[in-house]
Structures are given as structure tokens and as C-alpha cells.
Chains A and B, each alone.
Chain A
Amino acid sequence: AQTVTQSQPEMSVQEAETVTLSCTYDTSENNYYLFWYKQPPSRQMILVIRQEAYKQQNATENRFSVNFQKAAKSFSLKISDSQLGDTAMYFCALGLSSNYQLIWGAGTKLIIKP
């Protein structure tokens, strides 16, 4: 069975600081992909970044980057130069290559303080 664990229920940093959110997962599949989704107070689910398991290079999207450690089954999200608008719940999710039956972590509430 697949699982996703986010061990930090809540984090808070000052604006402009860098913050790293942790995620570990477990799967016996070889082909999978990993996501970070942001859920602001509006509760819409917004894709932040994705990583294919077969790619060694860590994905980056502007201020967002991941540290993908396949052997350790770790997929952390780094947010650089954090902004007030980054305040949200962040969910890590695991998807298998055959479908989008995503398995979700419990989420980390990130608060960016002015």
C-alpha cells in the first residue's frame, strides 16, 4: 500500500525567509510521480510543483523547488523568499503512473508572518 507522511502539522516563518516542508512516502512501484499542492483559505487545490520519479533532477518552479531523494523516499518542498501569499495548507501527494488515484499527506499549515 502507498502512504504519504507529512510530519510537520504547522510551520511559521517571517516574510522573505526560506522554508522547507517535509514529506516522506512509501510505495513499491517504480514508476510514480510526486506533487506539492497548495490550498489557500479559498480551499481550491493549486498545483505547486511536480516531480517524476524517473527524473534525477530536482524540479523547480520559480521560488519553489524540491529535494527529491528517491532512495530515502523523501520529497521536501523549499520555498525561497517567502511571501504573505504563500500562507496556505500544503499537501504532498503521490500518484502512480497508471492513474491519478492520488494518495495525500495530512498537510502542513504554513503561515508567513509580515
Chain B
Amino acid sequence: EPEVTQTPSHQVTQMGQEVILRCVPISNHLYFYWYRQILGQKVEFLVSFYNNEISEKSEIFDDQFSVERPDGSNFTLKIRSTKLEDSAMYFCASTKTLATNEKLFFGSGTQLSVL
């Protein structure tokens, strides 16, 4: 089965530093998502991306966050100045269409630790 690939699997950074989390969605997929899961808490939607622009974003996705699809294969999430509360598992996901029989594929996640 095709896979969504996320790198790195773990990222440790100092508070205030910028981080970029990388994702390679499945090649023929058109819709891309970032979710995060703070340890012990619910999974939260961050942002969806289609046709090279953000289609939806949550309240969490403030000015510190940005997404980009720089080269047609990678899909990145950048956090400009990390805070302690940004520590979480970040999941990338992709799907081909929004048809109800389509499956949303998740990557294995990047565990971000902000010290």
C-alpha cells in the first residue's frame, strides 16, 4: 500500500527556534493535512491544503505556523518560533479526492520536543 512519509521521526529543538517538519504525501494525492497530538490529549486539526493554498485552518494555526509545497512532492509545516506548548506529535495526511469513499492516509508522525 502507498505510504505518506514524514521526516524526521523525532525532532528536538530549543524554545524560540524555527523548525520545519517534512512530509512526502502519496504522489497522486491532491489534498494535504497537518494534525497534531499533544501527549495524552486529542488529535487536533491544524490545516488543510489544496491547489497550492490553505483551504481550512484551525485556531491553533496562528501566524507562527506556515505550510508550503515547495517542489510538487514535499509538504512542509514550519513553526517560526517554537514554544514549549508546541511539543507534540505532528501527523501529515493526504488523500486523492474528497469523495466519501476515499481514504485518508497518515504518515508515521514527527515527535517534536521543545526544550
Contact = CB atoms under 8 A, between A and B. Distances in A.
Contact of B100 (A42, A45, A97, A102): A97
Chain A binding surface, main DSSP class: loop
Chain B binding surface, main DSSP class: strand
B45 A33 contact: no
B108 A33 contact: no
Contacts of A104: 42-44
Contacts, number: 55
A30 to B, nearest CB: 13
A61 B64 CA distance: 41
B82 to A, nearest CB: 20
A112 B98 CA distance: 35
Contacts of A100: 31, 33, 48, 93, 95, 98, 104
A19 interface: no
A99 B104 contact: no
Interface residues of A, number: 22
Interface string A81-114: 0000000000101000111111111110000000
Interface in B30-44: 31, 33, 35, 41-44
B104 A47 contact: yes
Contacts of A43: 89, 108-109, 111
Interface in B74-115: 89, 91, 93, 95, 98, 100-101, 103-104, 106-109, 111
Interface of B: 31, 33, 35, 41-45, 48, 55-56, 58, 89, 91, 93, 95, 98, 100-101, 103-104, 106-109, 111
Interface of A: 33, 42-47, 50, 52, 91, 93, 97-107
